[in-house]
């Protein structure tokens, strides 16, 4: 590093380059960087040096945030959350729309399918037009939800191949979202992975108001909900253990390891055999 310190070779007005210098630069040891920067002509005085350093560190932080937000796992998180929000909105609006439609049309079923049926009908007056239009919005929300799910199913195996292989793309995306990112998930112990999504139950347990939860969102996996309740805790622990390993491999290396799935299959088969003992 030259005598300009952190800003060696950087124009004083080029904040982005200065930010990159702070993020990527290094030095063999401490030095009198403000004085050296002034002597080299980079800064007018020490106050100017510290102002440049402040601007550069802020710019570097903003760049790091942008980089993280654009990362593939962050996009996957946004997508799965949007998918769930769309599903909730579609179901809630469908109930409202079909309740209204039932007062206008004959033979109206409730829910999304009922709304889809009404959306295809011809309106003969202003009220029917409103009802049909509302049901069409339900269909739009459902179609958008399906499009988001398709995106998640395509993206999850590229972001976390082992996690998606073991959990399925949607559950893998939900686990990443609940943890706050693939790196965060990779740092979680298997016991935490096991109860992700069951935070309310866990806090109730810690307050002494409920028993300890055996599983969170991983309950949706067939290896958990498809196992007899007496063995479900063991199945959840086995699945969480492999998911935790899968997340670490995906974050730190990214290579697909089929043996993880084979080992999990064998472990779950052993657990489920206890049901017949």
Alpha carbons 74 and 59: distance in angstroms, whole number: 21
Least confident of 60-74, 180-194, 241-255: 60-74
What's the average model confidence in pLDDT over 210-221?
81
| Whether the Cβ atoms of residue 43 and residue 8 lie closer than 8 Å to each other | no
Alpha carbons 99 and 62: distance in angstroms, whole number: 48
Percent of the chain with pLDDT over 90: 64
Mean pLDDT of the chain: 86
Residue 233 has pLDDT above 80, yes or no: yes
Helical axes 46-70 vs 33-40, angle rounded to 10°:
110
Alpha carbons 222 and 67: distance in angstroms, whole number: 36
Least confident of 16-25, 44-53, 103-112, 235-244: 16-25
Confidence of residue 210 (pLDDT cuts 50, 70, 90): low
pLDDT tens-digit map of 168-200: 999 999 999 999 999 999 999 999 999 998 766
Least confident of 31-40, 185-194, 213-222, 246-255: 31-40
Residue 254 has pLDDT above 70, yes or no: yes
Of 13-17, 94-98, 200-204, which one has max mean pLDDT?
A: 94-98
| Whether the Cβ atoms of residue 244 and residue 163 lie closer than 8 Å to each other | no
Confidence of residue 38 (pLDDT cuts 50, 70, 90): confident
DSSP letters for the chain: --TTGGGTT--TT-HHHHHHHHHH---SS---HHHHHHHHTSSSSHHHHHHHHHHHHHHHHHHHHHHHHHSHHHHHHHHHHHHHHHHHHHHHHHHHHHHHHHTTSSS--SHHHHHHHHHTSPP-SHHHHHHHHHHHHHHHHHHHHHHHHHHHHHHHHHH-HHHHHHH-HHHHHHHHHHHTSHHHHHTS-HHHHHHTT-HHHHHHHHTTSSPPPS-SGGGGSHHHHTS-GGGHHHHHHHHHHHHHHHHHHHHHT----THHHHHHHHHHHHHHHGGG-
Residue 73 has pLDDT above 80, yes or no: yes
What's the average model confidence in pLDDT over 47-60?
75
Q: What is the pTM of this model?
A: 0.72
The pLDDT of residue 69: 45
Confidence of residue 1 (pLDDT cuts 50, 70, 90): very low
């Amino acid at each position: 590093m030259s005598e300009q310190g952190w800003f060696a070779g950087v124009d004083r007005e080029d904040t982005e380059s200065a930010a990159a210098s702070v993020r990527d630069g290094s030095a063999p040891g401490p030095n009198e960087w403000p004085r050296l920067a002034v002597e080299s002509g980079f800064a007018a005085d020490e106050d100017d040096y510290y102002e440049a350093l402040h601007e550069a560190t802020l710019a570097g932080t903003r760049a790091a945030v942008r980089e993280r937000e654009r990362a593939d796992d962050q996009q996957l998180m946004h997508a799965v959350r949007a998918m769930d929000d769309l599903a909730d909105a579609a179901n809630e609006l469908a109930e409202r729309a079909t309740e209204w439609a039932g007062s206008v049309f004959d033979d109206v079923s409730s829910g999304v399918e009922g709304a889809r049926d009404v959306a295809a009908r011809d309106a003969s007056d202003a009220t029917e037009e409103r009802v049909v239009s509302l049901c069409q919005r339900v269909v739009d929300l459902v179609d958008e939800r399906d499009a988001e799910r398709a995106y998640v199913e395509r993206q999850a195996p590229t972001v976390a191949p082992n996690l998606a292989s073991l959990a399925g793309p949607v559950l893998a995306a939900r686990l990443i979202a609940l943890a706050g990112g693939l790196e965060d998930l990779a740092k979680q112990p298997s016991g935490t992975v096991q109860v992700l999504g069951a935070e309310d139950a866990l806090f109730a347990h810690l307050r002494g108001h409920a028993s300890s939860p055996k599983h969170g969102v991983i309950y949706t996996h067939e290896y958990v909900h498809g196992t007899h309740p007496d063995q479900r805790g063991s199945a959840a622990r086995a699945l969480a253990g492999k998911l935790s390993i899968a997340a670490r491999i995906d974050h730190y290396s990214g290579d697909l390891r089929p043996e993880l799935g084979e080992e999990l299959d064998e472990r779950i088969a052993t657990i489920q055999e206890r049901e017949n003992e």
